[in-house]
Each structure stands twice: as structure tokens, then as C-alpha cells.
Amino acid sequence: MLILVTGGAGFIGANFVIDWLENHDEPVINLDKLTYAGNRDSLASLANNSKHQLVVGDIGDRALLDTLLSQHRPRAIINFAAESHVDRSIHGPIDFINTNILGTFHLLEACRSYWQALPAAKKDTFRFLHVSTDEVYGSLEASDAAFTESNPFQPNSPYSASKAASDHLVRAWHHTYGLPVLTTNCSNNYGPLQFPEKLIPLVTANALAGKPLPIYGDGMNVRDWLYVGDHCSAIRRVLADGKLGETYNIGGWNEQPNIDIVHMICDLLDEMRPRVDGASYRQQITFVKDRPGHDRRYAIDARKIERELGWRPAETFASGIRKTISWYLEHQEWVERVTSGAYRQWIDTNYSERTSA
């Protein structure tokens, strides 16, 4: 008995693999392409763990998928593999189409072939869990109710459109072929091991380096923030007891404007790693031109997963953000290793176009 995790060297995937092996004896085969966001360093704690095997490869490689499935015979597949950064999708959407749509298609087809050949008992217990995002639902106004699982898809970026397409494929493979699927749509994750192109690690790294803290537009774009450890526990619950063919929204019950998040980070750094000159890190905040099609607000209604599976987030934002900033302060060498020259070039490309607002 083992599971196959795709994209398990990325931010959420690596956290999930580590969390899984802390809570289960069941081995993990971890398939990751190791793009810029897939990082061996994130799995360093598993270096001597015989129950973890990292396979470098692409979910679009059907021959590799067939080999892994036939050799290891997993009882479940958890699909984290995705391109996930909105800004990158604006600059280069083709990678998102290839991975999120075509890659998901190839993975589903390999999974279907494998599942159909399983003995009846194993066929009945097999699961394919697809991890997705709240961004597929589009944008909310301040007075709108939070997203439920029945909200129509209204994606507004190449990233969210590609993830919406992948969600539709997963649904179709269940209804057409009977593939035993589960889908989760999560809100904005934060926590250890997040690549520093996303808001919280980017602001933390820039603050410590004495660089500007770039805030898009007026800083009032609202997100529902979910601690990555809570997301991992929710996925474990869905995998264990989720109803086949169903979607479960996973959220942190924590809506915050971006500017408030940045203020919290600055205040924590003021306390935990003060500037040499004694000034607040808030002085480094810089408002820049907004990105195209920037969704105003996301909010997740996570009552279904609580009602059906008994899950609620354990972390408050106050406890989660303190843990997160502490982790980055204690793991500066990890940040240095992942922020390569290619990363710095990307940051320059993205933000050089956005002069101060």
C-alpha cells in the first residue's frame, strides 16, 4: 500500500508529503518535474526516509506514468502538479496550458487505464484526488457571499482558466468513465517552504534585504488565507472519507486585504528581527501599478467539509503567520538557495514594468 503524489517538491506538495509521512506509515512515490518551484531542498528532511522516493519527471510523460503505476501499484494519486503563479501566467501562459490542462489530461488517462485493470476490491478503494484553487470561481465584490462548491466557474487569468479546465476534465473523467475522483479547491496558502514569488515570502525576503515591498494597486485586494499545515490535514480527510465525484472547498475563514498582511509581516519583523536603524519595515512599503485582471476578493465557504468530514482549520492567522515568519528567519539558507539568478531575473522582469503608483 502506497500513494503517488505529483508535484510533491513544490510548496503545498512538499508540505503534504512531509505531513503524510509524519502521520502515516504508508510510503510515498513523489513525482515532480523540478521546475523553478519544485525544490529538492524542500524535501531535505526526508533524505534518509526509506518510505519516500522522489522521481524526477513530468505528468505529461505518459510512458513514465504507465511505468510508475505498473511498478508501484498505488492505491491513490494526489495531484498537486501545476503551474500556479498568476503573474507568470500573464507573461507566459503556454506553460500553464501544457502543465495544468494537457498534463492533467495525460495523468487522468494513465490513471484510467491503470484503474480499469485493477482487481475489483482494489478498484473499489482507489482514489484520484485533484488539488485546485478558489481562483476558478472568479472575483467577489465586498458584499458578495463567499464561494461555495456550487458557484459557477468564472476564471479571470490564464492561471485560473487553466485550473478551471483541469477541474472540468477531472469531473468529466468521473462522469464519463467512472473514475473515482475527488476535487479540492483551496484558498491562498501560506507557510514554510513557499517559493518567494508569492506575497508573504516575497515581502519577508525583500524586507530583510532592505528592498522595496511592492504592493499592487491600493493594496485592498482581499484573500482568504489558509495555513498550509491545515490544508494538508484537510486533504487527508477528503482522501479518507470524501464522497466520490464531490468537490470540497478548503479555506482558512480568514479574509485579509493584502496591505494588512504586509503590515503584519512588517510588525512581526520589527519585533523578531529589528532593522539596524531602528525604523519600521513599514517604511519600505511601495505601491506599484496593479497587474492586469487582478481579482478583487476571494473568500471560501468551507462549511461543507466541516459538515461532512468534520474538518476546520486549527491555526488562527495570528498563530500561523508568526510560525511562518519564524520559519523564514530560521531558514535563510533555504531562501538563498532557491532564489537563483533565474528567479532574480524573473522578479526584475515582473516588477520593472510596474512603476510606483
Q: What is the mean pLDDT of residues 289-296?
A: 87
Mean of pLDDT values over 168-187: 98
248 has catalytic annotation: no
Residue at 328 is within a domain: no
pLDDT digits (tens, 9 = 90+) for 210-239: 999 999 999 999 999 999 999 999 999 999
The DSSP secondary-structure symbol of 119 reads -
The count of domains in the chain is 1
Which of 137, 159, 227, 281 is catalytic? The answer is: 159
Q: For residue 333, tell me if it sits in a domain.
A: no
pTM exceeding 0.85? yes
Q: How far apart are CA 201 and CA 194, in angstroms?
A: 7
Confidence class for position 340, pLDDT limits 50, 70, 90: low
* Per annotation, catalytic residue among 32, 83, 134, 224: 134
Determine the Cα–Cα distance for residues 335 and 41; give it in Å rounded to an integer: 10
The CA distance from 354 to 335, in Å, is: 24
The CATH number linked to 84 is 3.40.50.720
For the segment 129-156, the average pLDDT, to the nearest whole number, is 97
CB 261 within 8 A of CB 225: yes
Q: Which domain holds residue 163?
A: 3-189+226-253+294-315
Q: Which of 32, 58, 83, 135 is catalytic?
A: 135
pLDDT value at residue 338 = 79
Q: Are 256 and 333 in contact (CB under 8 A)?
A: no
φ, ψ dihedrals at 249, nearest 5°: -80, 135
Backbone angles phi, psi at 57, to 5 degrees: 180, 175
Report, as an integer, the average pLDDT of 41-55: 95
Residue 343 is predicted with a pLDDT of 43
Per the annotation, the verdict on 159 as an active-site residue is yes
321 found inside a domain? no
DSSP secondary structure string for all residues of 19-77: HHHHH----EEEEE---TT--GGGGGGGTT-TTEEEEE--TT-HHHHHHHHHHH--SEE
Q: Does a structural domain hold residue 270? A: no
- 342 inside domain: no
- Burial category of 116 from C-beta neighbours within 10 Å (exposed 0-12, middle 13-18, buried 19 and up): exposed
Cα→Cα distances 85→77, 200, 212, Å = 23, 14, 20
Whether residue 271 is contained in a domain is answered as no
Counting residues of the chain whose pLDDT is more than 70, the rounded percentage is: 95
Catalytic residue status for 135: yes
In a domain, 73, yes or no: yes
Residue 322 lies in a domain: no
Return the SS3 of 310: coil
119 dihedral zone (left: phi>0; alpha: psi -120 to 50; beta): beta
